[in-house]
Chain A
Amino acid sequence: MRTIPLKYNLRSLRVRWLTTGLTVGGVALVVGTFVALMALASGLSHAIGGVADARNVVLLYRGGISEAMSRVSLGAFQALRFLPQIERGEREEPLASLESLVQINLERKSGGETMVILRGMRPIGLRVHHQARLAQGDWFTPGTGSCVVGRGIAERNVGCELGGTVRVGHTSFRITGVMEAGGGSTESEIWADLDAVVGAAHRDWYNSVAVRLREAALFDGFAAAVRSDPRIDLGVKTEAQYIEDQAEGAEGFRVIGLIVAAFMALGAALAEMNTMYSAVGSRTREIGTLRALGFRGPEILKSFLAEAVMLAIPGGLLGCAIGAMMDGFTMSVLSLATVSEVTFRFQVTPAILAAAFVFSVGIGLVGGMLPALQAARLPVLEALRKV
């Protein structure tokens, strides 16, 4: 009988139920906040980026960071369109999509105005962005003034359901379809024919080019070909890289979430330390007795550390439960990269929950270490004499 039974710690926690409860509550708050903020960042980064296709490539003016802050000329597009690395579709048409982005204002159902992206592309663009699927209706067709709206837009804005119209200047686009893309940013966009969009916006320039390569390994050859052509003033990025650049804002959120969690965790760990010191202080005689019974210092240390962790774990589990309730919660935010509003859903992933649990155990260990050391080092005789 060299180990102190955990039951001893459990009972001690139960005797001091008020203090135990308050400490558990504190840890639950920290962990719950951590889970919610991480779920927000994860959902946001998914919504801004979507899922990258390894064969897709994005070309922007001088390798800029966002399609909204890029300008592509028809000449540059024609120069790159027939590069051999690009996949061909029916009738040998290259899977290269010249695109135009126009931010337009829509009226929210909940009141106020929002800005969304109207993306113009030729039908070949649908082959490049093959992740988008129709939820209702049909894709847009050139020459008919039709458009397709993302699911998020159809849900949140006035007159944007199937059959409604979107106005750009004096031009109207009839909504013939609703698309979805697994929660990605496409769900916050409107797609229509390129020439119709450019005409409605009175522009003689475009924003970006999206290209699908024959295979992902051809990227370097494609990038070199683009660089060596003086007619092409565009930078090449893989879709994954582009998404990563876009999601930097969401990354910022993750950092903010971590800072918030760190501050709160510091507060909780100190509170836990307080609780454990008090536990050690009021049980000095008990500790003396345990030592007299033959338990060694390291055993006492282990026992008190276990108690600290046992104090933190219910808080961690409770926090995970609170945070998990946020899963699927929908929000929207202004994306500065594209100057438009993006809708996203909180994503509570198993990784986040696991991290939160480890986090709570960490709070327990950090908060319990010093008090447990103190307990282990108590001189036996003095401890026994303490009233």
Chain B
Amino acid sequence: MKTDVRTKSSALRFVCRWAALVLLLLGAPLCARADKIGDVSDINILDQAIRFFTFQDPAVRYALIGSMLLGITCGLLGSFLVVRKMALVGDALSHAVLPGVAAAFLWGIARDPAAPKDPLAILVGATIAGLLGTVFVGLIKQTTRLKEDTALGMVLATFFSVGVCLLTMIQRLPSGNKSGLDKFLFGQAAAISAADVQLMAIVTGVAIVVLLLFYKEFLVTSFDAGFARSAGFPTVLIQNALMMLLAFAVVIALQAVGVVLVSAMLITPAAAAYLLTDRMHLMLILAAVFGLVAGSVGAFLSFLGNHLPTGPFMVLGASAVFGGAFLFGPRHGVVARWWRQRSRARRVRRENTLKSIYHVLEQREFQGEGVSLNELAQRRRETIEEAKQQAIELQRYQFATLQEDGDTIFLTPEGWERACSIVRNHRLWELYLTNAANIAVDHVHDDAEKIEHVLGDEVVRQLEKRLDYATKDPHGRLIPSVSDLRKGQSPAERPAEAVGYGRRL
């Protein structure tokens, strides 16, 4: 009964999804025809936002909307490139679209020399060229001994040079010179027209809807292709769909970012998001936001100067975001990691000082309370200055108090407990290595020096049990017991015939 319901609901979901996809595919071209729809949904909302920034010029408006849209699309789709380790496929794809763009321009010139730029023709031409490029990469990989990177480089270079060749030939034509084709190389957001924005909005919508509908499929094939195949996902189809969407993304970004740098908009925001989260849906959202920020920053900066290309500024915006994530990411960031490392190093140093104080006390069989700085310094093989610094540090953490004359250290109960537990960890581990791992007694110290700082309570309890609550380490010294830790007593007060301390509690 249960399975019946599940198959029913999954079948329903299946039908819904495909119906939505078909509607989308039918709807997208309709949107392109219906000028009103694009106007209402995009311009009015943006109008408010733009008024907010007092951008009254429609050219600025289009450029900003376009840059934001392309940032979102590139960020979303680029995330899949980054997690699939296909970042440079994006690079090859973005260079490979150039001949398609040039061909679309040629077609435009043949049709109407006055206005050769037709966004839809460029979309079609560039998509075909881009997909042809990826097909060639696959073919070269399959039929020769050449590796993927070489194949990518060759396809990139060949397609790009065909594009450049066509470009120089078009510029030779009387109507080609002022066609604005050269704007496609480094990008000029100011060249974005209303028709471009409409196309961008449609492509962005298509990308978002497809990702929402087939999120699971994209996710599974990206992370575990083998599992996806065995679970019956059409991996090849999904890969091709992704390539198609990527080609779309590249094309809508071309006008503003330029052929040469489009790949950065795919890779950099997504890589920045990848540094900040482990969850794919969060990564997608972050990448889209980063893309949006980079796009609008780039559009804004390039407007400040005359004839500045937009693409490089967007790329630098994205790189700045990446740099921020690289430095200040909460988990993987350089600063956070450096801070963690530093605090760990300082903790180890504190614990080592506590241990040394314990050793000094132990050496005089726990007679007397305080340890003089001189003794500590000798034990640690440090100068008195360094020992004093450490003592102050311990005082700051309330592990010890320093006498007024600044010469003798007294452990607080917390300090005593920590010192005992470190020494205990050390000696238990030494014993464990000699007993269980049969390592020679004179070889166990160094290893124990490292592990004493990282053993957790659970592991210590296991060690005690395995070692049958032993009281002496392999060198014959007493292991501080739990009651020593708890009561703050010194082992000297303990009865000599003490059995396993665990049982005494």
Binding partners A and B? no
Residues of B whose CB lies within 8 Å of any CB of A are: none
Q: Which residues does A use to contact B, with CB under 8 Å?
A: none
